[in-house]
Structure 1
């Protein structure tokens, strides 16, 4: 058994997803296990089987929540995060880089290094609360996800209202020596991600052709990139 096979792989889904819906549904967890890797499935706070507080402040430090959640796992884990899960992994990586081996960040881009567009967030929250513009199809997509069976819409809205951290200083990422793979679709609303990937000394970028944000986890090219990067092929 190689050293990498002794390191569990943590899979973190995006907003309104879950371990089952995002990772098990595509079979990526089984493919990783077939490749000799053990998998730790995590439902982020507000999702799946996790607690679902309705206070936005409860979601202010999801990175700290994740590190506490991983406290009973192996001392070092590899991690794959998508969208909100990638933001959470990135925050945890910055806080405690020695807790992680290889890290894959998908569905986030250069916006992590820039001031957030508050107006876009307000439109999504309005759609979630039923007060938005019905013709704003981008915002309505989020409302449709939150209205799906089994979702706690109040918790998902609270996540969108959570306090947001300041943009990440690229100099902070320059001190992180972990192998980091950034994967993003060229049709993703968070595209591009070149500056994010290049901020890491050992960062790499994979761009998925003709792939939007929500289709990323089920993309064959994404799954291939994950398996190859984590040595599970």
Structure 2
């Protein structure tokens, strides 16, 4: 594991394999190990002949913890991914994000389209435009003294997951208040790189893959039968769809 500086914030990353670079951006309350290594995604990408580059988002994993929501704007985190490319001397890469990581990847692509070869948005579909509710409740749950004080089931689920991933609850509470920036249909319509949208059929968080793909010129959609937001991450069908997409769009 190594670190780099992005606008004064120290961020952790890992870099494995050789070949076309794939920058993998994890979801909220997760980290590069939980989202990508523990689910065998790193092995999948590297064994396909590609370079798997993972980042711990600000406030997550081994990266610097910040406690002001102003530091967690999605466009700021998108810029972190582009600065990692700068740090590694990479001109262009695939951006592959899951959940919040997909939102970050979309913002990064719109902010620096010349740096992105292909885009994979997983676990974040039409909700990228439609948005989410409950951010304040989740922030409150993360700041609660005890799980017993949390009455909202969704917020409790985030608290449990954050504890399982040994996350800094204060940093996550700040992050959730600023990182759910929406894009408009017109904005996602400006994404001009080959794009794959993947979501579980039972994923109540991400929304519809077909609906988001319809807003992005030429985008492809894959819906994973019987999978929800958590079980879709390491699904074999998910991996097959991503590798097939990358194979068809390799330079």
Give the TM-score of the pair, scaled to structure 2.
0.82
Superposed, 1:139-178 pairs within 5 Å as: 139-148=155-164, 150-162=166-178, 164-165=180-181, 167-178=182-193
Please give the root-mean-square deviation of Cα atoms over the aligned residues, in Å: 2.1
Counterpart of 2:54 in structure 1 is 41
Give the equivalent residue in structure 2 for 1:182.
197
On the 8 A contact 2:124/2:207 being kept in 1, the answer is yes
Q: Which residue, out of 38, 45, 67, partners 1:54?
A: 67
Whether the 8 Å CA contact 2:202–2:229 is kept in 1: the answer is: yes
C-alpha deviations, 1:124-145, integer Å up to 9, x for none?
1222122886443221110112
TM-score (norm 1): 0.88
Map 1:81-92; keep pairs closer than 5 Å: 81-92=97-108
C-alpha spacing 1:162/1:219, structure 2 compared with 1 (3 Å): same
User: 1 or 2, which has the higher strand percentage?
Assistant: 2
Deviation at 1:164, TM superposition (A): 4.7
Task: Provide closer, same or farther for how the CA distance between residues 106 and 149 of structure 1 changes in structure 2, counting only shifts above 3 A.
Answer: closer
**Larger RCO (alpha carbons 8 Å, 6+ apart):** 1
* CA displacement at 1:151 relative to structure 2: 1.4
Per the alignment, in what secondary structure is the counterpart of residue 31 of structure 1?
helix
Structure 1 unaligned spans of 5+ = none
CA distance in 1, matches of 2:101, 2:165: 21
Which of 214, 230, 243 is the equivalent residue of 1:214?
A: 230
